[in-house]
């Protein structure tokens, strides 16, 4: 499947609001191939030269529903300033099993491959989460203990499984209000 900015469904497409279904095990060849293509998209999207040539928008994650496929699969790659991979997951059926009461938010706001318009405001999420999933890269079940940026990325991607977009979580009456138990992430 070709994945680029033209094939990623946007928020004006009702499919983005569909609930995603669990993936059956063993993971099918088609699902494995799709998830690896999603990983490749995320990896290549942060290389400016490749991104421009192949019509990719920079991303740290993508979920299958963003391709119109309502399955609980997500690809996440977070790199450091030098372009080295710090976190890399190809997750099948990820599920948050615990989360902190303390909140965190991205000071610059969140973005999404499926959202082209700017939506300003803070998206408050748990500062720490524990996620259980099958990781196709390790070909095993894993538990991720994430905090701050990685925790936000995981929650953002898992929201897609419920048809929730980041701007649904912005307070429309007061988008930049400060919550007492929340800390900013730059």
Show which residues are catalytic: 157
Q: Which of 158, 161, 97, 157 is nearest to 129 (CA)?
A: 97
H helices of the chain, in order, are 29-45, 48-54, 148-160
By CB atoms closer than 10 A (0-12, 13-18, 19+), residue 57 is middle
**SS3 of 172-185:** CCCCCCCCCCEEEE
50 and 99 in contact (C-beta within 8 Å)?
no
**How many Å apart are CA 37 and CA 3, to the nearest integer?**
8
Residue with tokens 């977070």: 78
**How many Å apart are CA 142 and CA 147, to the nearest integer?**
16
Q: Which of 80, 66, 78 is nearest to 37 (CA)?
A: 66
């Amino acid at each position: 499947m070709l994945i680029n900015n033209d094939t990623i469904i946007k928020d004006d497409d009702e499919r983005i609001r569909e609930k995603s279904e669990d993936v059956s095990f063993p993971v099918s060849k088609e699902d494995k191939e799709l998830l690896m293509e999603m990983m490749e998209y995320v990896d290549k999207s942060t290389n400016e030269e490749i991104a421009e040539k192949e019509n990719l928008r920079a991303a740290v994650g993508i979920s299958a529903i963003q391709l119109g496929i309502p399955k609980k699969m997500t690809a996440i790659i977070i790199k450091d300033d030098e372009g080295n991979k710090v976190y890399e997951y190809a997750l099948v059926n990820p599920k948050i099993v615990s989360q902190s009461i303390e909140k965190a938010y991205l000071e610059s706001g969140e973005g999404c491959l499926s959202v082209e318009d700017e939506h300003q405001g803070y998206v408050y999420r748990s500062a720490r989460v524990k996620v259980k999933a099958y990781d196709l890269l390790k070909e095993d079940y894993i538990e991720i203990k994430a905090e701050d940026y990685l925790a936000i990325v995981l929650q953002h991607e898992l929201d897609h499984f419920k048809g929730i977009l980041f701007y649904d979580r912005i307070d429309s009456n007061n988008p930049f209000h400060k919550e007492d138990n929340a800390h900013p992430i730059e």
